[in-house]
Chains A and B, each alone.
Chain A
Amino acid sequence: MKRALFLAALLAAATPAVVYAAAQVMPRAAVDVREKSKQWPSPQGESWDAIKKLPDFGGVWSAPLPGQDGPRAPPNPVPSYTPAAAAKLKAFNDSKARGENTQTDKANCTPFAFPSSMGIYPIEFLFTPGKVTVAIETDSQMRRIYTDGRPLTDDPDPTFQGTSVGHWEGDTLVTETVGLVPAPQMEIVAGVGHGDKLRIREKIRLVAKDQLQVEWTYEDPDVLTKPWTTTRIYLRHRDWDIQEYNCAQNNHDAADDKGRPSMRLDK
């Protein structure tokens, strides 16, 4: 019995050690990144003092949606589609006439991808040395924009918010994003999806008291024949907080595999 207890104790004590030892071997990539980070020039926002010089993006920002009152940017231009994308869009619209694709996988709680994620519910900007973090209420997501001078990763893993780097040009935060999840999780416009080479350039700046303008320029040779720029105006709410949002908490509105709506009525 004593021996069994001793062995159990030994095992319990050794387990963390084994895990720790394994961790020393496993995360070589992480160590390499840390080493590499010392080479990045950290040109902007490298210290808390530097952050004090940045424009005031404080508060919670919310964009009025179509149909709602409030200052808004002029209507977006019509995208110039490649023939393949135009055909896809037509097929998509035709399917809507049949009652299909009237809703997206968002109805099944797939998170919103960048930049749609920045639009349904409010966002908040957090400045820390070398990084701007966007706290996104929709699906309780985070977007990290590295401003420490690192280059964009060559071949990033696809993620819902993409991989972003940015820098300040005067009072404008200029960013570049690649590595977004494929359609249907992320689509430039519903029905057309996007290609592997999608790149989104973004400009964020204050344009009036408590008004922030965000410009997104989409470049995607598989879908667009020329870059397409959309603009959105956000209003500042100093007295708001970002709230929690978990879509799966109580979703009654699933879409079927043809994008047709349903509604679950069981209690």
Chain B
Amino acid sequence: MAKTYAWTGLAALAALTVAAATPAAAHHSTAMFEWGNETPMAGTVEAVEWTQPHIWIWFQVPNKTGGLDRWGIEGMSPSYLSRVGWTKRTLNPGDKITMGIYKLKDGRNGGFIASAKFSDGHVVRHVPGRPAAAAAAAAQ
């Protein structure tokens, strides 16, 4: 996974902003997310929708009153993901994971998946580029 993740000669998606003098291209902006600021959240995968233009993950997260909140989590597209090693079975219903989420700025229970840490400790990156902490460490 690390190898495929490091590979970046791909065509992608949503998540990239486009320079002013570049012809317009991007499915939607990332302005509604805390983009780049990853919040770890522990929970259980309820369902995975392997769909265009983005995959969707429904994520059950324990709340402060002892119940569960359903979070709607957007991901990249199958077009992108299938070429960097993700499949429709990378995440499965029932998986207990800690998801790194770029949360919605408006405070609702939603966001964009940046990474998934499984119970055996292995981490799968989701967005292209390195996590901010890793990039900072690599720069030192």
A binding-site residues for B, Cβ under 8 Å: 62-70, 75-79, 99, 102-104, 106-107, 109, 112, 115-116, 119-122, 137, 187-190, 216, 230, 235, 240, 243-247, 249-253, 255, 261-263, 265-267
Contact = CB atoms under 8 A, between A and B. Distances in A.
Interface string B50-68: 0111101010000000000
Given A67-B129, A137-B79, A250-B54, A261 B31 contact: yes
Interface stretch (B3-11, B37-45, B90-98, B116-124): B3-11
Contact of B16 (A66, A109, A190, A266): A66
B135 to A, nearest CB: 12
B10 A247 contact: no
B69 to A, nearest CB: 11
B45 to A, nearest CB: 13
A70 B21 contact: no
Contact of B128 (A68, A230, A265): A68
B72 interface: yes
B108 interface: yes
Contacts of B129: 67
B10 A64 contact: yes
B79 A253 contact: no
Interface string B22-56: 11111111011000000000000001010111101
Contact of A189 (B9, B24, B32): B24
Interface in B68-85: 70, 72, 74, 77-80, 82-83
Contacts of A189: 20-24
A68 to B, nearest CB: 5
A99 to B, nearest CB: 8
Nearest to A65: B16
User: For chain B, what secondary structure do more than half of its interface residues adopt (helix, strand, loop), or is it mixed?
Assistant: loop
Interface of B: 8-13, 16-29, 31-32, 47, 49, 51-54, 56, 58, 70, 72, 74, 77-80, 82-83, 104, 108-110, 128-129
User: For chain A, what secondary structure do more than half of its interface residues adopt (helix, strand, loop), or is it mixed?
Assistant: loop
Given A253-B54, A263-B104, A67 B16 contact: yes
A245 B11 CA distance: 14
B11 A122 contact: yes
A219 B3 CA distance: 43
B9 A247 contact: no
A190 B21 CA distance: 9
Nearest to B6: A69
Contacts of A267: 47, 58, 70, 72
Contact of A249 (B8, B51, B58): B51
A258 B20 CA distance: 19
B103 to A, nearest CB: 11
A69 B51 CA distance: 26
A194 B106 CA distance: 35
B28 A255 contact: yes
B9 A64 contact: yes
Contacts of A240: 83
Leading 9 A-B pairs by shortest Cβ distance: A250-B51, A107-B28, A190-B24, A62-B11, A70-B9, A103-B29, A265-B72, A253-B28, A69-B8
Contacts of A99: 31
Nearest to B13: A120
B21 to A, nearest CB: 5
A77 B80 CA distance: 29
A65 B52 contact: no
B16 A245 contact: no
